Amino acid sequence: MRRVKASFELRLLDPTPADRADVDKALAIFIQNTSPLLRTKTNQIRQKIGDPTTPEGTFYFAGLLRSKSIIGFAMFGYYPNSKLVVVDHMVIDRDHRGDAAFYIFAQLLHDTIQGLDLEIDFTAVELEDGNEYGSEQTGGNELVRLLGQVGFGKVHADYFLANIEPVNYEAKYPGILMLRGSQKLYRIRKEDLLQISRGILFEHYLPWYRDFFGTQTGAYQRYLEHLHQDFANRLGNQPTVKVNGPEADALIASPANVPVRSNEFRVGQYIAMFAAVAFIASTIIYELSVPPHWAIPLLIAFVAVFGGIVAISSGRSLEVFEAAIQFLRGGRQKSRYPQIRPSSKDAEQTRRQLRNRKKDLAIGTGDTQD
């Protein structure tokens, strides 16, 4: 029995009598929260829990617990030949989906996989593209976003989920392939993506179902070959395939685009503002018949208001305020907000002079080291 974390806890389920009640509870949650059209049969899951090893790899089964009660279920397989982990059926009971439970589930699952000391290049998760087949937890943009928060990226390619029965259905299951690598993925080579697809189909799906399909296994394998070839054909000749940066698929909300205004636009604004201030000031002086000895201070006041508006809009209000104070004091002082930074050459020359002065001072006081 291996356990991870506290509060929320992830437990890898074993075929022991002690785990039997937890397995029953986990599978009940799985049935209640997964579409029957996309759901692996529970009798198959029970059999694989008892015998999880295949020539291609190993299946693992996990329960998410909170306060020692099972609230979620997940399956995953590891395939050393492809250095690939494939995660299936991450579901959480409807009454326990708050408090960031899915995010915690995904992170705990990742931590558990890392704790198994497996050599992994990629972790893959297949999702239903939308909820057309009645599933609330196997697909949709919400799961894409949540997986994006724990490091997965959406592969930008038309993708279809494999059937879970040995029947060549006319209807295809549109899917989304999410990938996580050891480093953040932005693009993936077509050859690597096809290798991942082959690993999912022939190291994950086929070893599972060949134990249950009997004489139909050959037909199912040919169906998987056809599905894989269709995927390769859709990729075409593109050498790489995009894997989203978070903003590309709205995994993380982007700030609103704020247009950047050119200097010419700003100058035009200031000229228009100054013209408006001058017009208003002149109109007021004319209409009120302001005496000449009051007209000049009034004009200065209006210009000061205009200058304040310009300073605030340009982000230099502190500098303008300091300059005004210095002007009222009757002179100019060195601003604490210098606009011209010394060049790197000047800065290095200054540092060299300071070092020489310190050295001369040390020699003069006899404070030297051998």
Which pLDDT band holds residue 259 (cuts at 50, 70, 90)? very low
Q: What is the pLDDT of residues 94-129, one digit of tens each?
A: 888 776 888 888 889 989 998 998 999 999 999 888
Residues 43 and 152 in one domain: yes
Last residue of a domain, one of 196, 215, 249: 249
pLDDT band at 230 (very low <50, low <70, confident <90, very high): very high
Asked if residue 321 belongs to a domain, the reply is: yes
Q: Are residues 109 and 22 in the same domain?
A: yes
Same domain assignment for residues 32 and 167: yes
Long-range contacts of 347-351 (CB under 8 A, 24+ apart): none
Are 268 and 245 within one domain? no
CB under 8 Å to 150, separation ≥6 — which residues?
103, 106, 107, 110, 180
Check if the beta carbon of residue 67 is closer than 8 Å to that of residue 5: no
Residues 289, 193 share a domain: no
Q: 119 lies in a domain?
A: yes
Residue 153 sits in the same domain as residue 232 = yes
Question: Based on the domain organization, do 234 and 278 belong to the same domain?
Answer: no
| Residues 167 and 38 both lie in one domain | yes
* pLDDT at residue 168, as a whole number: 67
- Angle between helix 217-235 and 206-213 (nearest 10): 150
Output the CA–CA distances (angstroms, integers) from residue 228 to 11, 130, 193, in the order listed: 34, 22, 11
Q: What is the mean pLDDT of residues 251-267?
A: 46
Structure token digits, residue 234: 């859709």
| DSSP codes of every residue in 245-283 | -GGGGTSSPPPPPPPPPPHHHHHHHHHHHHHHHHHHHHH
CA distance readout (Å), 95 to 72, 92, 260: 11, 8, 47
Residues 296 and 228 in one domain: no
| Number of structural domains found in the chain | 2
Classify residue 366: in a domain, yes or no. Answer: no
- Helix or strand holding residue 331 (H, E): none
Whole domain around residue 67: which residue ranges?
3-249
| Distance (Å, whole) CA 165 – CA 117 | 33
What span, in angstroms and rounded, lies between the C-alpha atoms of 141 and 111? 24
Residue after which a domain boundary falls, among 226, 249, 272: 249
pLDDT the model gives residue 370:
41
